[in-house]
A and B are shown apart, each in its own frame.
Chain A
Amino acid sequence: MDDSAAAGKTHEDYEAELRAANEIVYKHSLELARLKQALEVANAQQENLLHFISHEIKGYLTKGEAAFAAIAEDGMEVPAPVKELAGSALQEMRKGVATVMDILDAANLKKGTVSFDKHPFDFRAAVENIVREFQQNATEKHVSLTFTADTGDYTLVGDEDKIRRHVIRNVIDNSIRYTPEGSIAVTLSREGNVVRMFVQDTGVGITPEDMQHLFTEGGHGKDSIKVNVHSTGYGLYIAKQIVEAHGGKIWAESKGPGKGSRFIVEIGSS
């Protein structure tokens, strides 16, 4: 006597049960497939809407920025308090434009509509210039910002503008924002064909939980948002996309909260 006979069931009974089970699994899979399709459509619509809104807002902000710049920076004769007010408004407007640009750039990178204008440039000079630009910011916060580089050729082939704006500036700016006191050391090294930039700070550090979201789209860390409330969460996501588009890697290290962080950018020179 076989098992099926012992249980009082025939092979046909088992087959029927199996078919019924298959049918249930199929219906669930179908439901999931339809939800997935609906989600993909909704995501695409949301992305398009986000892109449209960002683009429109950028247009308004840019016009406002130009008007305030004319008053604050172009020598227009206005009373000093007005000039001061316009200067302050201009700064806020520029932050607004930068925020919107971050969102637009992230959307374009995700859609794959970003083109890269690659040509040889001096990575060392780019980093050194940007460190110099940030000196005042760091000094105002009483944070020491230093730059050192091993000797050697730091020529990279890449989109200089995007690497400057989205990678170098972003990483150094982040370090300044998240370092209330202490120091930031920017160093460069070259090993074979690989150029590395290290940005080491004595700042607030990164929790293991925040570390998981660090380079993700809109990835705000639970703790980091308390320090930088204006963060869009797109800066490091964009930096990662740009570095990877150049065949490189970017990552962060931290021993935890209060123990500082180190960001490493690695790009091949050939």
Chain B
Amino acid sequence: MTIFAQIASKIIKEQELVIGPLAWSEAGKVSGVHVDQAHTEVTLENGDPKEVVDRLVAQYERLFGRASHEVCKEAAAPLLVGLAPTEIPSSLRAA
């Protein structure tokens, strides 16, 4: 699993703790995010994975507002440590 797929997976699982299975169905609507039926594996397709992660974060924020964006950032934070600043998806950069 690539680092960006890991980030997406962590975000979805963290959102799942708050909104339940809806987290997976909303993630599945995001272009470039593929979730398996068992809700265990996330793969990123179609283009720049950073942009796919940004779209995933935007999908939750569009529905649930700023608080959900913060949850995404907190969830992803431990996985961003090893990335160069330019590699970090813009939605997850510190404000």
Contacts and interface: CB of A to CB of B under 8 A. Distances in A.
Interface residues of A, number: 10
A22 B63 contact: yes
Interface string A16-36: 000110110011011001000
Contact of B19 (A19, A26, A37): A26
Contacts, number: 28
The dominant DSSP class at the B interface is: helix
Contact of A23 (B18, B64, B71): B64
A19 B65 contact: yes
B38 interface: no
Interface string B27-55: 00000000000000000000000000000
Contact of A27 (B17, B62, B63, B67): B67
B17 A26 contact: no
A20 B65 CA distance: 8
A171 to B, nearest CB: 41
A43 B18 CA distance: 20
B9 interface: no
Interface in B2-17: 17
A26 B62 CA distance: 12
Nearest to A32: B18
A23 B17 contact: no
B62 to A, nearest CB: 8
A23 B60 CA distance: 10
A33 B65 CA distance: 17
B19 A29 contact: yes
